[in-house]
Structure 1
Amino acid sequence: MKHTNKALVLGTNYYIGLAICRSLGKKGIHVVSVNHKRKNFYGRSRYIKEALIAPHFQDEEKAYLEFLLAYGRNQDEKPVLFPSADPYVEFIDKYFYELKEYYLFPMDRKGLLTDLMDKTTLVEYAKKYNIRVPETLDIGEENLYDKVMDQIGYPLLLKPADSPSFVERYRQKAFTVESERELKKLLSMTQRDGHKVFIQRIIPGPEKNNYNFDAYVDRNGRLAYYTTEQKIRQWPNNIGASTVADQRWIQEAADFAIPFIEALNYRGFIEMEMKKDEKSGNIYLIEINVRFVNFTQLHVAIGMDTPYLHYLDSTGQDIGSKIINYDTGKRWRYLWEDIPAMRGYVRSGQMTREEIIEENKHPNIVPSTWAWDDPVPGIVFVFKHFVDRVFRIFRGR
C-alpha cells in the first residue's frame, strides 16, 4: 500500500483522535496532530510525528483556515484530513472547496455533512425516505403546550438542531424535561443563548435497545464495510454518549439503516444511531454521525479499521470489503465516564449492583485510552485528572 500522503488529525485532545493516530501510525503513515492548546493534548502518542499548534478553529476561524491552507501548500502530496469531532466536520464542510484544493477527504459534495449533522434537516431527510423518527414538535408551533400533551407527553426530550454548540454550552446532548414548567424554563434559557431546539418523544426501553449501524461507503458509493453495535451503558444515563458498548450483529438494525444510507449518496464513514421502542417493537432513527466516533478503537479491533479505510479511500487505493454480520465478542469501554454512569444506574434503579458486576466480567474489553504499546496518553490522562481532583479538594469543591 502507498503511504506517502501525510495524515492531518484535527483534534487529538480526546480518545477518538488518539485512536485515529494509533491506527494510522502503526501502518507507518506520517501522522500530524493539529490542536489549539498544548495542554489539551490527550497525552502525546508515540505515533504522532508532528504536533502542530494552530489558531482556535472557532474563535479564530479565518486564521485557522489559513493555517491549514499554508501547511497544505507546502506539502509534496496532499495530506488526508481526519475530523475527530463534530465542529471539525462543520469547518471542513464550510470551507469545502478551499480545503479540497490542498487536502484529501472522501466526501465529494459540499453541504451533505452539515445537513446530516443538523437534527432538524435530518428529520426532513428521514421523512423523505420514509425512515421512522420519534414524534417531533417545532417550538414555534401554535398551541405548543397543548400539542405536547396530546402528541408527546412528559417526560420528553428538548434537543438541539446544532449539537456541537449545544454540547459545548451545556455539557450534554439534550435535556430531559419532566413538566410544562420545566419546559418553559429551558425554552427561555436556550432561546436566550441563541440555540435552535425542538421537542421530541422519548423512545421507551432500556439502554440495550440503543443500536448503532456503522459503515464505510467507498468512493463508488458501495457499502464496503459495516457492522452493528449495542449500547450497554452511557453517560449521562439514557441521553449521553456510550461508556460501554458491544459489537453485536443486530439484523433488524441493519435492515432499518441500510436503505437510508444507500439513498443518501454519502461517501466515507457514517454511523446511524437508533432505538427500539420496547412497547411497539419499532425502531426509530435517533441521529447520524459523520465523523469518527467513540468506537473507533473497537472498529480497529474487529477488522473494520475506519481511519485506515478513510486514508486508503481518500488516496485512491482499493479498500476491499468486509461485512461483519456476526458477533466478534468484543466490548468497548470508556472507564472514566463509566464510573459515574454505573453509579447513576444504581441510584435510579435502572440497574442493580449485581447486574453491573456481572456485566463487568466481560473477558474481551477494548479500552478507549490505554494501550501497552503506547502508554503515555493513558498515564497523562490519569495524572491530569488526579491533579484536577486534588485542586478541587483544596479549593473546597
Structure 2
Amino acid sequence: MTAGTVGAVVLGGDYQGLGIVRSLGRHGVPVIVADDEHSISVASRYARHAVRVPSLRDDRGVLAALAGLRARYGLRGWVLYPTREEIVAALARNRAELGGHFRIPAPDWDSVRIAWDKRETYRLAAKLGIPIPQSWYPEDEAALSHVDGSAGPYAVKPAIKEHFFYETGVKAWRAEGPEELREIYRKAAAIAPGEVIVQEMIPGGGEQQYAYCAFFRDGEPVASMAARRLRQHPSDFGRASTFVESVDPALLEEPSVTFLRAMGYYGLVELEYKLDPRDGEFKLLDVNARTWGYHTLGRAAGADFPWLVYRDQIGLPVRPVRARAGVRWARLVTDLPNAAADWKAGRLRTRSYLATLRTIDTEAVFAWADPLPALYEIALLPYLAVKRGL
C-alpha cells in the first residue's frame, strides 16, 4: 500500500487541523476537512474537500457527521484525525460501530477516559509516583473545609473540560484565598456539579511550562518531542500555547512513558507539566489524547507526527525519531495581542519579546507554499475572537 491510496478525514479545521492537512497533503494523501465552525483549513491547497457539519460536540453529532461523509464520499478505510477532546471521546466510545469502516488512530475508551477526566489522570499519576500539584475534589461546598487554607492561590477547574469550557470560555478560575475560593467554587459547581477540582497554583509563568509529546505505540514512543511552552493565551490559564521551543525529550521521558504504559496508550498525545521552583519537580497538569496546537513544531524539528501516524495506520514502516531541541514555533495572531497585554501589566519587556520573534523557525498558519489560510484567518479574526477567544 502507498500513500494516496487511502485518504484522511480531519475533524476540526482550525490551525491545529490545518497542520494535519498540510502534513498529509504534502505527501499526496487526499484530505477532507469536516468542521462545525468556520475554519481556516478550507482555504488550504491541500484540502480536497471541506464540509460544514451541524455539530462535533458530542457522540451523536460526530456519528452523524461521519455517516454523512460516508454517504457522500465513500471513504472506506480512511484515517480519522480528531482535533478536540470531545471528538476523541466520541471515536473511542463508538469504536465498534466506526471501526468497520474507518481507521481510528486513537486508543480505546478505557485509555481515553483517564485523559478525559482529570480526576482519573491525577489518581493514576499518584499511584505511579508521578508528581502532581496538591489537589482536592470537593463534591459540595462543605467539603471545602478539607482544602489547605495556606495553599492558595488556587486554581478552580473542571474535571472534564468540555462540560465547562463551552459555557465559560476559560479552562480555570483563580482564587486568592479561602473566601474567594468559596465564591468561585459556587459558580463552578453551578456549571459542572460534582466535577470541580481545587488545585494549588504552582508559581511561575511560561518559563516553567513544559510538555512531552509523542506518537506512542506498543509501550514505546515511536516519535517524541519535549517542549517549553514559553508563552500562552491567556497568560494565566492558557487555552493554547503561542510561543514554544523544543527541548531535549529525555527531560520528561521517564515519567511520561511510565504514565502512557499504564494507560495502555496508542496514538498521538501531549502531557503538560509545570516545573515547580519550590522543589524542582515537574508536576503533571494535563494529558491531551490528540494532536496538540503546536504539533507542527514537530515537523520543523524532524518529527512529522500526523504523517508518522498515517504510515502506521496503513501498514507502512515507521522509523523511531526524536525531535531535535532548539526549534521555535509561534502563533502570531494570539502571541502579539497577548504580549501587548503582558507588557501593559509589566510582565514582559519589549526588547526581550522582539528578540524572541527573530528566532521563530515555523509559524502556526503562515506558509509560503500555502498562503491562503493565513489571509483567511485575518478575515476570520472577529469571528474567532467571539467564538473561541482566538
For normalisation by structure 1, the TM-score amounts to 0.89
Alpha-carbon distance change, 66 to 205 in structure 1, aligned in 2, over 3 angstroms: closer
Give the deviation of 1:141 after TM superposition.
Answer: 7.0
Q: How many residues align?
A: 381
49-58 vs 235-244, which deviates more? Answer: 49-58
* Cross-structure match for 2:157: 159
List gaps (5 residues or longer) in structure 1: 390-397
Q: How does 1:18-167 map to 2 (within 5 A)?
A: 18-37=18-37, 39-58=38-57, 61-62=59-60, 64-69=62-67, 71-72=69-70, 75=74, 77-107=76-106, 109-140=108-139, 144-150=143-149, 153-167=151-165
| C-alpha contact (below 8 Å) 1:235/1:340 kept by paired residues | no
Aligned with 1:231 (options 204, 229, 232): 229
66-75 vs 96-105, which deviates more? Answer: 66-75
Aligned with 2:185 (options 180, 184, 187): 187
Aligned with 2:337 (options 326, 336, 340): 340
Give the deviation of 1:251 after TM superposition.
Answer: 3.6
Give the Cα–Cα distance (whole angstroms) in 2 for the partners of residues 157 and 176 of structure 1: 5
Give the Cα–Cα distance (whole angstroms) in 1 for the partners of residues 352 and 57 of structure 2: 43
Q: How does 1:341-356 map to 2 (within 5 A)?
A: 341-356=338-353
Give the Cα–Cα distance (whole angstroms) in 2 for the partners of residues 388 and 101 of structure 1: 36
| C-alpha contact (below 8 Å) 1:208/1:231 kept by paired residues | yes
Give the deviation of 1:205 after TM superposition.
Answer: 2.4
Give the Cα–Cα distance (whole angstroms) in 1 for the partners of residues 78 and 377 of structure 2: 29
Give the Cα–Cα distance (whole angstroms) in 2 for the partners of residues 365 and 2 of structure 1: 27
Give the deviation of 1:355 after TM superposition.
Answer: 2.4
* Cross-structure match for 2:245: 246
129-138 vs 72-81, which deviates more? Answer: 72-81
Give the Cα–Cα distance (whole angstroms) in 2 for the partners of residues 211 and 388 of structure 1: 26
Does residue 371 of structure 2 align to residue 370 of structure 1?
no
Give the Cα–Cα distance (whole angstroms) in 1 for the partners of residues 196 and 267 of structure 2: 28
Alpha-carbon distance change, 347 to 179 in structure 1, aligned in 2, over 3 angstroms: farther
189-198 vs 223-232, which deviates more? Answer: 189-198
154-163 vs 337-346, which deviates more? Answer: 337-346
Alpha-carbon distance change, 303 to 235 in structure 1, aligned in 2, over 3 angstroms: same
* Cross-structure match for 1:392: none
Computed over aligned residues only, the root mean square deviation of the Cα atoms, in angstroms, reads 2.3
Give the deviation of 1:42 after TM superposition.
Answer: 4.6
> Which residue identity lines up with residue 173 of structure 2 in the other structure?
F
| C-alpha contact (below 8 Å) 1:72/1:103 kept by paired residues | no
> Which residue identity lines up with residue 315 of structure 1 in the other structure?
I
Give the deviation of 1:55 after TM superposition.
Answer: 2.8
Q: For each residue in 1:257-305, what CA deviation from the matched residue of structure 2 results, as whole angstroms up to 9, or x when unmatched?
A: 2222233221111111111111211111011111111112111222211
Alpha-carbon distance change, 236 to 30 in structure 1, aligned in 2, over 3 angstroms: same
* Cross-structure match for 1:303: 302
Give the deviation of 1:43 after TM superposition.
Answer: 4.7
| C-alpha contact (below 8 Å) 1:16/1:293 kept by paired residues | yes
Give the Cα–Cα distance (whole angstroms) in 2 for the partners of residues 191 and 260 of structure 1: 29
Give the deviation of 1:113 after TM superposition.
Answer: 1.2
* Cross-structure match for 1:382: 378
Q: How does 1:143-292 map to 2 (within 5 A)?
A: 144-150=143-149, 153-195=151-193, 196-218=195-217, 220-240=218-238, 241-249=240-248, 251-292=250-291
Does residue 7 of structure 2 align to residue 16 of structure 1?
no
* Cross-structure match for 1:395: none
Give the Cα–Cα distance (whole angstroms) in 2 for the partners of residues 245 and 86 of structure 1: 21
SS of the equivalent of 2:147 reads helix
SS of the equivalent of 2:109 reads coil
Give the deviation of 1:206 after TM superposition.
Answer: 3.2
Give the Cα–Cα distance (whole angstroms) in 1 for the partners of residues 220 and 259 of structure 2: 13
| C-alpha contact (below 8 Å) 2:57/2:87 kept by paired residues | no
% of aligned pairs identical?
Answer: 25
SS of the equivalent of 1:111 reads helix
Give the Cα–Cα distance (whole angstroms) in 2 for the partners of residues 216 and 317 of structure 1: 15
For normalisation by structure 2, the TM-score amounts to 0.90
| C-alpha contact (below 8 Å) 1:237/1:344 kept by paired residues | no
337-346 vs 72-81, which deviates more? Answer: 72-81
| C-alpha contact (below 8 Å) 1:160/1:174 kept by paired residues | yes
Give the deviation of 1:380 after TM superposition.
Answer: 1.1
Alpha-carbon distance change, 262 to 384 in structure 1, aligned in 2, over 3 angstroms: same
> Which residue identity lines up with residue 23 of structure 2 in the other structure?
S
Give the deviation of 1:190 after TM superposition.
Answer: 2.0
List gaps (5 residues or longer) in structure 2: 386-390
Following TM superposition, where does structure 1 have runs of at least 4 consecutive aligned residues deviating by more than 6 angstroms?
386-389
Give the deviation of 1:310 after TM superposition.
Answer: 1.6
